[in-house]
Amino acid sequence: MNSPIRFLLFLILLPMLMGSSLQAQDNAVYLNKTAPLEDRVNDLFGRLTEDEKISLLGGASANTTVAIPRLQVPSMRMADAGAGVRGIGSSNGGPASAFPSGVVMASTWDPALIGQAAAAIGDEAHNKKVGSQVLLGPAVNIQRSPLGGRNGEYFSEDPFLAGQMAVGYITGMQGVGTSSCIKHFACNNEEVDRREANVLVGERALREIYLPAFEAGVKEGHVWTVMSSYNRINGPHASANHYLLTDVLKQGWGFDGMMMSDWHGAHQTATVINAGNDLEMPGKPRNLNPAAIKLALQNGQTTTAAIDENVRRILRTIIRTGLLDGPWQLDPTQVNSPEHQKLTRDVAEQGIILLKNQDNILPLDTTKIHSIAVIGLAADRPQIEVRGSPEVTPFYSVSPLVGITKRAGNDIAIHFAPGAIDNPAPVPNSAPVPAADPAQAQTDTTGNPLQEAVDAAKNSDVAVVVVSTFRTEGEGHDRPSMSLPNGQDALIQAVAAVNKRTIVILNNGTPVDMRPWIDQVPGLLEAWFPGQEGGNAIASILFGDVNPSGKLPTTFGMRREDYPDYGNFPGVKFRVAYEEGIYVGYRHFDKENIAPLFPFGFGLSYTTFEYGPLQLSQPTLDPQGKIAVSLDVKNTGSRAGQEVVELYIHDPSPKIDKPVRELKGFAKVALAPGETKTVTIPITPRDLAYFDVPGKQWKADAGDYEIQIGASSRDIRQHATVHLASDFTEAVPLSSDQLALNGGFGKDAAVDLAAGKPVQASSALDKFGAEEAVDNDDTTHWSSQPGDSQWLMVDLGTTTTIDRVRLFWADEYALGYAIQVSNDGQSWTDVAKTSKGMGDVEWVRFAPTQARWARVLASQPGKTGGGYSLNSFEVYGSGDHAPAASVP
């Protein structure tokens, strides 16, 4: 058949062919939404070509995955969503309901309420613009330092509370069919150098503090997507960390969904694929692009099996989000619906915390008050969200000034004074403001703003000062100190000096130093970043329409020096050692017996609660059992209110170093005046356990444990003893050696014999000389000139027994290289050789050998363009390595 005829025939048959293929697909198992998930995954996987599979590992655009139109597989769309649907670009950008930030959510101690909020966010994601399927939240990293830039986005300093909030959030969001993406896995606890910071953390702290919120999100929340963090953990970047992504998350916890990188957080190809990071975001992928993946396959650095596994996980999330179940009917009325507006307010009202209420200055008594001075730039222009990716553009937002003015009504005069001239933090805020116009308030912006604030306070019955950390915190920025910026301490002091009825409202995401004024003000509210309805929620609490019930999810220390990360934050030279180990937050304050300003779990109410004695469902707990702890809680005041009842475990005779108490349960109960309800909190043996590093297991030793029930971590009201009948253990199927292998532990784990020694290289680019690789500084690096064969050699000074080197590559790594030793610096012997170098951080071990010189001879670059870059070339000898034990 000649070609024109063949072509004609093809054209005639095309519709039939297409029809039959489409029909085949229409009947295909993967398109059948009633078929079991794994059948759908297998069916779709079986239809993909090798090229299509490979294409799925990298994003398509800023916020989408690659589509496979041939099989009717559309792009999966993503949006940031910690506090509402942010959206990236025109396809899903634009306004949405702005919920309170993560720390407010956690301050509610109400996972069910947060589930409702997350369901609303999920609904808005489906219906905003073209719709999104994967929402990049919750962010569950631990608030390790009071200066952490993203603390306001994160839930808590406590892993149990963070985990329970995560479970509530994920369950609510995924209940409406949108995937949550729990992030940032793991140890993204600071923003300085966040893309390179090497977190040196021991396995016990990882297991007990930094991982449990993720573990709960996977095991209890059944999350569909996880995002790896930017930072390094004991060497490798999180996205290249096999220990974390595969051993812990996938194999250890059974996570079967999609693991994706943070934006531009993948640095190599094979290392990332093999570690278990399934998807590189965003598109156009720098490392998980088809050309690089095919090269890695050709080079034998990765395998089809590894790629297939990653593809299946991506398909699972695509199918779970309903993308293959037909078009979604968009309903834009869902976005910022009246129900959602109410929910944003509910969360703020439940999450705002009353920290001080001397002489019952609150709630304000409208029968006695005739004027209120509302003071502070943040009263007018508050920051409603954490700065950075969680920022949502609201349709409207209510400032404290507007909320208070509206609630005060016509009989109470409002005197507004900003207290400062310039706003250091213009927050893109507020389209139309409902109700009262702040311009109507008595404002005079000429003259001396501090004096005007003082005058306003002097002439008012009550002064409300709203102070903010403004834009000193947020994504990419840690706070420089705990102090309030912009002269706000002086503002509070000046106002409090003339008005004894001064109430301070905090607008922040991290604890602030309150020593300059705390004793001078009778009232204090922590409002955090309260979302679009913040002003109304603040007013409800000030005027007593809502009885405050929020409690602190983080310790408010008196001063910076009291915190456990003091001296180890943000680290130096890209290294931050978590030397405090498990003693984060109240665990540290309790252990060191440091009085916090306001303890973890603390929050006041306008009513009072009485805690009855504890009842245990049984006094003895079997290693496989469970007990219920119950008590009666009575509202002994005259207002309806809600109380958060907190359960801590205390081990009176610990066999190993342990925190004084640890939160292991809580419940929030609503009580009418005089009402009593029974609160029941379950306890399992795992709640008594610590992570036994050498034993590679969770372990609770048989014996007596004290159950403490408190209104805060420092206000324990009741206790009882439970007896664990015999040892409880839960094996953790991986060895801590793997963690050591991945990069070693703390800074004192081993002596780097190459550090500071004479060094030479075959060539160097500009200022990136050979000495940069042995200067004990991971922020600097040696770069060779382009060229396939390059070397770097170190003179150890004396003949030494060595048995391993650590290569800390910058982005230009070697695919082929040898580690060589010499006794004269001239003739070299290979002690290790590979043609499958992986980049990032590589330990190369070899039989102990005596040598004075060591070198790396690189013969094939891992990336096109040639040349090599090493942040560090480290050499170690036998007997100088003390894994695990050196860092708690």
Q: Taking CB under 6 A as the rule, which mask of x and - marks residues 746-785 in contact with ligand BGC?
A: ----------------------------------------
**Backbone φ, ψ for residue 489 (5° rounding):** -60, -45
Of residues 256 through 295, those in contact with ligand BGC by CB under 6 A are 262-263
Q: Give least dist CB 309 to ligand BGC, A.
A: 24
| Alpha carbon distance, N-terminus to C-terminus of the chain | 77
Number of residues located near ligand BGC, criterion CB under 6 A: 6
Among all chains, which residue has been given the structure tokens 């989000």? Answer: 321
CA angle 655, 656, 661 (to 5 degrees): 95
Q: Are strands 198-200 and 134-136 parallel, antiparallel or unpaired?
A: unpaired
Q: Give least dist CB 775 to ligand BGC, A.
A: 30
Rank residues 225 and 568 by Cβ distance to ligand BGC and give the closer one: 225
Q: Give least dist CB 883 to ligand BGC, A.
A: 31
Concatenated DSSP letters of 670-695: EE-TT-EEEEEEEE-GGGG-EEETTT
Return the closest-CA partner of residue 58 out of 311, 274, 285: 285
Q: Give least dist CB 166 to ligand BGC, A.
A: 15
Strand partners for 200: 577
Rank residues 263 and 566 by Cβ distance to ligand BGC and give the closer one: 263
| Catalytic-labelled residue, pool 123, 193, 262, 565 | 262
Distance between CA atoms of residues 109 and 272, nearest Å = 37
Of residues 155 through 214, those in contact with ligand BGC by CB under 6 A are 183
Rank residues 89 and 797 by Cβ distance to ligand BGC and give the closer one: 89
Give the Å distances, CA to CA, from 152 to 229, 515, 600.
17, 21, 16
Q: Give least dist CB 11 to ligand BGC, A.
A: 45
- Which residues in 362-393 are b (16+ Cβ under 10 Å) and which e? bbbeeeebebbbbbbbbbbbbbbbbbbbbbbb
Q: Are strands 641-650 and 134-136 parallel, antiparallel or unpaired?
A: unpaired
Q: Give least dist CB 321 to ligand BGC, A.
A: 17
Rank residues 262 and 643 by Cβ distance to ligand BGC and give the closer one: 262
Distance between CA atoms of residues 97 and 393, nearest Å = 8
Do 479 and 147 contact (CB within 8 A), yes or no?
Answer: yes
Q: Give least dist CB 283 to ligand BGC, A.
A: 13
Q: Taking CB under 6 A as the rule, which mask of x and - marks residues 74-103 in contact with ligand BGC?
A: ------x-----------------------
Rank residues 385 and 874 by Cβ distance to ligand BGC and give the closer one: 385
Instruction: Confirm or reject binding of residue 662 to ligand BGC (CB under 6 A).
Output: no
- Take residue 816 and report the two structure tokens written for it: 């082929």
- Take residue 425 and report the two structure tokens written for it: 């933090």
Rank residues 258 and 496 by Cβ distance to ligand BGC and give the closer one: 258
Note if 262 is an active site residue: yes
Rank residues 153 and 349 by Cβ distance to ligand BGC and give the closer one: 153
CA angle 879, 884, 885 (to 5 degrees): 80
Task: Show the DSSP H helices in 605-741 as ranges.
Answer: 736-741
Rank residues 91 and 389 by Cβ distance to ligand BGC and give the closer one: 389
Distance between CA atoms of residues 744 and 804, nearest Å = 12
374: helix, strand or coil = strand
820: Cβ contacts below 8 Å, ≥ 6 apart: 828, 829, 830, 831, 854, 855, 856, 857
Task: Show the DSSP H helices in 630-780 as ranges.
Answer: 736-741
Of residues 356 through 415, those in contact with ligand BGC by CB under 6 A are 389
Rank residues 172 and 388 by Cβ distance to ligand BGC and give the closer one: 388
Q: Give least dist CB 78 to ligand BGC, A.
A: 8
Rank residues 345 and 479 by Cβ distance to ligand BGC and give the closer one: 479
Q: Give least dist CB 815 to ligand BGC, A.
A: 29
Q: Which residue pairs, CB below 8 angstroms and at least 24 apart, start in 53-56?
A: 53/307, 53/308, 53/311, 54/290, 54/293, 54/294, 54/307, 55/290, 56/279, 56/311, 56/314, 56/315
Distance between CA atoms of residues 515 and 439, nearest Å = 33
Rank residues 31 and 281 by Cβ distance to ligand BGC and give the closer one: 281
Q: Give least dist CB 136 to ligand BGC, A.
A: 4
Instruction: Confirm or reject binding of residue 136 to ligand BGC (CB under 6 A).
Output: yes
H or E segment and range at residue 490: helix 488-498
Distance between CA atoms of residues 58 and 239, nearest Å = 13
Q: Give least dist CB 237 to ligand BGC, A.
A: 13
Among all chains, which residue has been given the structure tokens 């150890």? Answer: 796
Q: Which residues bind ligand BGC (CB under 6 A)?
A: 80, 136, 183, 262-263, 389
**Catalytic residue positions, numbered:** 262
